[in-house]
Amino acid sequence: MLLRIYNVFMATTIKVIFMPNVLVIGAVGQIGTELTMELRRRYGGQKVVAATRKTPFPKELEQSGPCIFFDVADKEAMKKVITEHKIDTIYQLASLLSATGEKDPDLAFQINLIGLKNTLDVARECGVKRIFWPSSIAAFGPTTPRDNTPQRTVLEPTTMYGVTKVAGELLCQYYSKKYGMDIRSVRYPGLISYKAEPGGGTTDYSVAIFYEAIKHKKYTCFVGPETVLPMMYMPDAIRGTIALMEAPREKLTVHTSYNLAAISFSAKELAAEVARLMPGFTCDYKPDHRQAIADSWPKSIDDSQARQDWGWKHEYGLTRMSEDMIKNLTPILQNKK
Ligand code: SER
């Protein structure tokens, strides 16, 4: 009898821990596209609802589970999805990136910050158990120490994107302390991927260089050769995000947003690596308005708190990442011709 009770208890516990009903808001963005598919592989297609205001949905997403159109401004629509699909876990990824945010700061504020607040309010009302929200290295600014930037440090960003990230981090901490909500977050570095293009970020050159190298064997980089920024390959970012979301709550000591790091390199070092793998490739440099944004961000990040609290560890260095990018992106671009 006792054994039966134990078994039922364990089965329920495992189900509760590992089989969440998930809503991904911003499922068609740079992170969402890959994260949604990975969550569906992990928990089952029907358990992960993909939501976006950017249609059409990519085929892969549409065919593997529920897809819904709504805007983060629309709290009623959000409530309806959460109730209908019994959502207990939300990944709120809807966001404008740094360069696009500077073109339309009002829209960046609406989507990035009001969108987050709407999500937190609806989640609280509906009793959602766990929420993920991405912050960024953009939360830092020119007054932040740039090398090995600490977890707790000066946050005085100069972009609207950065302002929404700092305010968003504090909002997450406020809601977790005031209402006991379980909200988790990381400060992503620049993310590099061959699946979904970033669009509108300052770190986009580290992705564009691969596209242009494969297509034209040359690239004109919009930041100077000595520009160093923290970067990460998308598979590491996805793995890290899910690891944080599955970590026991009592292990987490940061309720704003965890520093998360992998690799730091200069634009020149990246170009040299691409040229090594693709002989004949050349890169020149024409810095534009994004240079000032890049110069206001850290060069490297101290993520020891994430490593200590929930076992974060990156796997991809510059060479492994570059090899994998070229190997996977080449057939994709050749098929598009
Ligand atoms: N990749 C982002 C950007 O460049 C930073 O979070 O805007």
Domains in the chain: boundaries: 21-190+233-259, 192-230+263-300+316-336
Domains 21-190+233-259 and 192-230+263-300+316-336 share a fold: no
> Is 233 known to be catalytic?
no
Determine the residue type at 248. Answer: P
Kindly give the number of the ligand 1 atom that is closest to the alpha carbon of 297.
Answer: 5
326/168 Cα distance (integer angstroms): 35
CATH superfamily of 21-190+233-259: NAD(P)-binding Rossmann-like Domain (3.40.50.720)
Residue 17 has pLDDT above 70, yes or no: no
E strands within 110-217?
A: 130-136, 182-188, 190-192
Q: Which of 261, 242, 106 is nearest to 184 (CA)?
A: 242
Mean pLDDT of the chain, nearest integer: 94
Residue 1 has pLDDT above 70, yes or no: no
> What is the best residue among 104, 203, 297 to mutate for testing ligand 1's pocket, by most ligand atoms within 8 Å of CB?
203
In tens, the pLDDT along 44-99 reads 999 999 999 887 889 999 999 999 998 999 999 999 999 999 999 999 999 999 99
Q: How far is the CA of 51 from the centre of ligand 1 (A)?
A: 21
Residue 254 has pLDDT above 70, yes or no: yes
23/235 Cα distance (integer angstroms): 20
Phi and psi dihedrals of 69, rounded to 5?
Answer: -100, 120
DSSP annotation string for 266-317: EHHHHHHHHHHHSTT-EEEE---THHHHHHTS-SSB--HHHHHHH-------
319/326 Cα distance (integer angstroms): 11
Nearest CA to ligand 1 atom 2: 201
* Cis? peptide before 105, omega within 30° of 0: no
> What is the best residue among 111, 202, 233 to mutate for testing ligand 1's pocket, by most ligand atoms within 8 Å of CB?
202
The domain 192-230+263-300+316-336 is classified under which CATH number: 3.90.25, 3.40.50, 3.90.350, 1.10.150? 3.90.25
Nearest CA to ligand 1 atom 1: 190
pLDDT of residue 200: 92
Residues with CB under 6 A from ligand 1: 97-98, 136-138, 161, 188, 190, 201-203
Whole-model pTM: value is 0.93
Contacts of 162 (CB under 8 A, 6+ apart): 98, 136, 138, 139, 140, 141
> What is the best residue among 30, 31, 95, 98 to mutate for testing ligand 1's pocket, by most ligand atoms within 8 Å of CB?
98
Nearest CA to ligand 1 atom 3: 201
Name residue 92's beta-bridge partners: 25
The Cβ of residue 179 has, within 10 Å, a number of other Cβ atoms equal to: 11
